[in-house]
Amino acid sequence: MTRALSAVSRPWGMRALLGAVLISSIGEAMVIVAVPWFVLETTGSAARTGVLLAVGAVASGLAGVLAGPLVDRWGFKRMAVTAYVFGGAAAACIPALHHLGRLDFATLIGLAAAASVLDVPGVAAVTGLVPGLAGAAGMPLERGNALLGGVHQTAQLAGVPLGGLATATLGTDAVLAMDALGCLLAALVISAGVPSSRATRPTLDDRVPETSDPPPVVCAYLDEIRVGLRLLWRERLLRALACSGAAFNALDSGLAGVLLVIYAHRELGSAAALGVMLTAFGVGVLAGTGIYAAIGHRLGRRWAYLASGAGVGLLVAGLAVASPSLPVAALLLGLLGMVAAPVGPVRTSAFQRGQRAETYGRVVSAVDTIGMAAVPLGAAATAVAVEALGVRPTLAVLAAAYLLVVTACWRSPALRAL
């Protein structure tokens, strides 16, 4: 009887994790609208808005490498809960200090950095929980990762318009408070609903060599960071995925952050067209994620990775040569989102299978940081290309770049291990 009850309850860990991610991701998406609006309301400065967003990105990127060992020291569940609590507390301080009249711009920058500082290790901890929870639920790993991505994408689609509506009707302070509440609720759901796994410690090969005098805490921590970076460099598959992922991130940021905005402005002449295209893309990603969740475990991971990248390149080329038309652009963006959806779950599954739990946090946090560093570089390069070449030629160049990255991945011996 006990075994039967245990077997019935096993899927709840995965469900709790997905529920926590949904709750927190909706709040995070709402803040995308609320935070810039809050800065504009309180300072009236567009430049300060940019500074605040840049500080958050830099803090998140730096912490990605530096905080990676915390995931391995504390374990996935504890790190995920800590990241949600820390981010929620920082978000709650913004409206609280604002009402008390104690929120100057320097304090706002500090709170924005604090809210972002555990984002990367928090994401690594959440993905680290998936293999055990998916196995306990009796589902393939690919499905677990795809469901996690699908929940996040659903939250993004719903959260941004909800954030705009809530900002307009309730004010930015209320939206920030809702984000804080969502983070704290997500932490509570994981604490109560996700079973604790056996604590892991670094294996003998990954520990700092013992001497007669134990190393200082700071030195030992830096040694753990070096172990993660050394593992990333030594493992050919991880290195290839990190490099190709950074390349795709750079191209994605140029497409979504620069080219689509300018395409909507110059070719379609409407800000609403940008919203339609981005919505079509989001719906496509959600549909593609659902399809991959259903059949992804039957597909070859290398084939899915290469086919997704090639499909994106061909669809971007289609956007470059098609006549400017919102229905056509929306259709192409929807298809693009659908074919691009498997890339994230494939990469995550590869890291989960190829990396031991005791070093997973360090390696994945480093990989995510590399990917984040490529985003502003890709956006800046694309902006320069648009000014020099124009929108359509830049789309063609971007399509060629996608296909070039896919070709390099196809020829890479390391990626055959996928």
Domains within the chain, CATH numbers bracketed:
7-192 (1.20.1250.20), 229-417 (1.20.1250.20)
Question: Which pLDDT does position 219 carry in this prediction?
Answer: 62
Distance from C-alpha of 274 to C-alpha of 262, rounded to nearest angstrom: 9
Contact assessment for residue 49 and residue 39, using Cβ atoms and an 8 Å cutoff: yes
Question: Which pLDDT does position 7 carry in this prediction?
Answer: 41
Question: Which pLDDT does position 211 carry in this prediction?
Answer: 37
Question: Which pLDDT does position 66 carry in this prediction?
Answer: 81
Other C-beta atoms closer than 10 Å to the C-beta of 273 total: 20
Place of tokens 């320097």: 106
Which H or E run includes 138?
Answer: none
Q: At what angle do helices 236-254 and 343-354 cross, to 10 degrees?
A: 160
pTM of the model: 0.81
DSSP codes joined into one string, 348-414: HHHHHHHS-HHHHHHHHHHHHHHHHHHHHHHHHHHHHHHHHH-HHHHHHHHHHHHHHHHHHHHH-SG
Question: Which pLDDT does position 39 carry in this prediction?
Answer: 84
CA angle, corner 79, sides to 78 and 83, nearest 5?
Answer: 120
Distance from C-alpha of 266 to C-alpha of 38, rounded to nearest angstrom: 29
| Low-confidence stretches of the chain (pLDDT beneath 50) | 1-9, 198-215
Q: How far is C-alpha 106 from the geometric centre of its chain's CA atoms? A: 27
320 token code pair: 């470059």
Question: Which pLDDT does position 287 carry in this prediction?
Answer: 92
Distance from C-alpha of 205 to C-alpha of 224, rounded to nearest angstrom: 12
Contact assessment for residue 353 and residue 237, using Cβ atoms and an 8 Å cutoff: no
Distance from C-alpha of 200 to C-alpha of 223, rounded to nearest angstrom: 18
